Amino acid sequence: MFTGNIGLRMGRTSGLKEELMEEARPEPLAGDDAGALPDDGAADGVETNAADGVETDAAAPADEDQAGDGVSVVRRVATWTITVLAGVFVLGALVAPFKVGRLEPGAFARLPVEGLLLVAVVVLAPARVRRPVALLAGAGIGLMAVMKAVDMGFYQVLNRPFDPVLDWVLVGSGVEFLDQSVGRGGAIAAVIGIVLLIGAVLSLMALSVLRLTRLVIRHNAAATCGIGVLGTAWVACAALGAQLVPGVPVASKNTAALTWAHTRQVANSIRDRQAFAKQAAVDAFRDTPGQNLLGGLRGKDVLLAFVESYGRSAVEDPRFASQVGAVLDDGSRRLRKAGFASRSGWLTSPTTGGGSWLAHSTLLSGLWVDNQQRYRSLVSSDRLTLNNAFRRADWRSVAFVPGVTRAWPEGDFFGYDQVYNAYQLGYRGPPFGFATMPDQYTLQAFQRLERSKPNHAPVMAEIPLVSSHAPWAPLPELVDWKDLGDGSVFRPIAKAGKRRATVWRDPARVRNEYRRSIEYTLGSLISYMEKYGDDDLVLVFLGDHQPVPIVTGEGASRDVPITVVARDPAVLDRISGWGWQDGLKPGPKAPVWPMHTFRDRFLTAFAR
């Protein structure tokens, strides 16, 4: 009797539980089958294992204690929180801009067409393909989110988007810059962190889209209705040009547009190789005999100096113009007093913010070298460079490259008789940020190792001056030339200088230190000409490119100043037809030439 009652009671309890579970179980959706994605249980207490599609009962039985009910509530809240975060993650990736300057709240108050299309595909797709579609779409959105972040970085440094075909080599340059700026350990840690972050973004985006897809399938009818309403709203906003924030349309398609732009960029980059080969095939000076080259400079030492990041903004931007202009005006007066005259104009660089070697090779080869593919093609060719033209005309061609700290096989292409790298200049002082040594020391090394030799042959020297290279902290100071020695004199200056971390906390400080670095390098050149200049020295100095946009702001030109300084009036008479202006500072009306036209103009002006 007692046993029978227990059995009866257990049977009733079991039946009640089955009833409750049956009522809680959702009705199957029309068209769903065993291959359908497991649905999101956020609304009804059924939670799905995303890895294997196994459903677990998240609802507490009616006869469980109060603690079980509390666990169920926490689980429901956690489930909805994760779902909301997944939605925010995906939406943010779809509508996020690709320039740092556009990162503002209004940029995210938009309706992405890509999200609407993805929901439509999920609703209409057969059940068996929904999971792979969701994962692939999520990985694709994640990849474009990474691409947007990379584009942000490129716009911040180079003021242009990332090229998926040609810019991978810049990864190595970036690591090298970090190595020289923050040390090997910091560079390795940064690379590992970036790789892990990219992997996390791709994985989390794929899982987020998968989770949202389950929610769409669970609420199929509501999702279908929502697509219709939001799709109509998107078309209306696009037609009316609706904007909640000026310049930011509500109807967003920036991820699709960015994908298309980079796709076209890939095609253009592949075709560019042939276009460059055509241009390189034309060279008016390829077969010119040495005796017919550069006769107007016969017997002169020629110093060609590239001033890192010396752009038009340094001369004309109100934030720098008064101080940098004062250095140039004072330099013009000092050099006139020493018997020198000068002429200045503008060149348009193929790059901005970085990629100095592209500007150097453009000026020296007479070809527009604005990407790494062109650079590689150039240094594999037999193109006549300005250095080689001097060498052909019996000058000694040398390069003083304090920024080169390892093998540099490309140097063979340019036509140097000798390359002096960072380890061959005798410097024993401290580095200054990216610069292995101050520019004043590099110029003094050129004088000591080449120009001071008795009865030396005319020398043409190319010298990239790097003290004005980012990060502009700490900065060197001019010292008396007789005190330079092996560079140890700079140790207390480097120790007392501003730290990189301090400077880069504030854009205003960055701009101030940039200005000071330009003043230092210009001051070094002017002082060198006063100290060592003579009738047989010709100085050509120019900027390689504008600094990074944090210094110039958006919309700055790619123009850089260029100046020729000489004591012999016959030298400047040769370029009188160029229309350049007197002094070290070009005015706003001075001519602007593409940088690649300089080689031919120079060789023509000084031909025999």
Using one digit for the tens of pLDDT, what is the confidence trace for 440-451?
A: 999 999 999 999
302 burial type by CB count under 10 A (0-12 exposed, 13-18 middle, 19+ buried): buried
Instruction: Identify the band that residue 182 occupies on the pLDDT scale cut at 50, 70 and 90.
Output: low
Q: What is the mean pLDDT of residues 21-39?
A: 39
Per the prediction, the chain carries an average pLDDT of: 86
Q: Which of the listed CATH numbers 1.10.420.10, 3.30.930.10, 3.40.720.10, 3.40.50.1970 matches domain 294-605? A: 3.40.720.10
Average pLDDT of 281-289?
Answer: 93
pTM exceeds 0.85, yes or no: no
Domain ranges of the chain: 66-239, 294-605
Of the chain, the percentage scoring pLDDT greater than 70 comes to 87
- Per-residue pLDDT at 156: 79
Over residues 387-410, the pLDDT tens digits come to: 999 999 999 999 999 999 888 988
Residue 327 has pLDDT above 70, yes or no: yes
d(CA 535, CA 405): 34
Q: What is the pLDDT of residues 99-150, one digit of tens each?
A: 877 777 777 888 888 888 888 888 888 888 888 988 999 999 999 999 898 8
Give the residue with greater pLDDT, 520 vs 185: 520
534-546 mean pLDDT? 97
Higher pLDDT, 92 or 461: 461
Closest CA to 340 of 524, 551, 104, 532: 532
DSSP for 324-363, written as a single string: HHHHHHHHHHHHHHTT-EEEEEEEE-S-SSS-HHHHHHHH
Dihedral Cα 133, 136, 142, 143, nearest 10 deg? -140
User: What pLDDT, on the 0 to 100 scale, is given for residue 33?
Assistant: 38
Ranking 93-107, 265-279, 367-381, 572-586 by mean pLDDT, the lowest is: 93-107
pLDDT band at 566 (very low <50, low <70, confident <90, very high): very high
pLDDT-based confidence at 560, cuts 50/70/90? very high
- Distance between CA atoms of residues 163 and 147, nearest Å: 10
Write out pLDDT tens, residues 476-518: 999 999 999 999 999 999 999 999 989 999 999 999 999 999 9
Q: Which of 115-129, 275-289, 327-341, 522-536 has the lowest mean pLDDT?
A: 115-129
Q: Give the per-residue pLDDT at 41.
A: 38
Cβ proximity of 269 and 371 under 8 Å: yes
Check whether 419 has a pLDDT greater than 90: yes
Does residue 200 contact residue 68 with C-beta atoms inside 8 Å? no
Give me the sign of the Cα torsion angle 28, 34, 37, 42.
positive
Q: What angle do CA 457, 423, 355 make, to 5 degrees?
A: 90
Whole-number Å distance between alpha carbons of 492 and 500 = 17
> Given pLDDT bands bounded at 50, 70 and 90, which one contains residue 240?
confident
Residue 16 has pLDDT above 60, yes or no: no
Parallel, antiparallel, or unpaired for β 559-566 and 251-252?
unpaired
Both tokens of residue 28? 């199957």
Residue 181's H or E segment, with its range, is: helix 169-182
> H/E element holding 305?
strand 301-307
**233 vs 569, higher pLDDT:** 569
- Asked if residue 474 has a cis previous peptide bond (ω within 30° of 0), the answer is yes
Interval 74-109: pLDDT, tens: 888 888 899 899 989 998 889 888 887 777 777 788
Cα separation, 250 vs 99, whole angstroms: 18
pLDDT at 297: 97
23 vs 266, residue with greater confidence:
266
> Higher confidence at residue 251 or residue 484?
484
Q: Is the pLDDT of residue 38 over 50?
A: no
Longest dimension (CA), the chain: 128
Continuous segment of H or E residues that includes residue 420? strand 418-420
pLDDT at 15: 43
pLDDT at 23 over 50: no
> In this predicted structure, what is the pLDDT of residue 39?
40
What's the confidence (pLDDT) of residue 40?
A: 40
Note the pLDDT tens digit of each residue in 183-226.
777 778 888 888 999 999 999 999 999 999 988 888 888 888 88
Query: Residue 12 above 50 pLDDT?
Result: no
* Per-residue pLDDT at 266: 84
Mean pLDDT of 261-281: 87
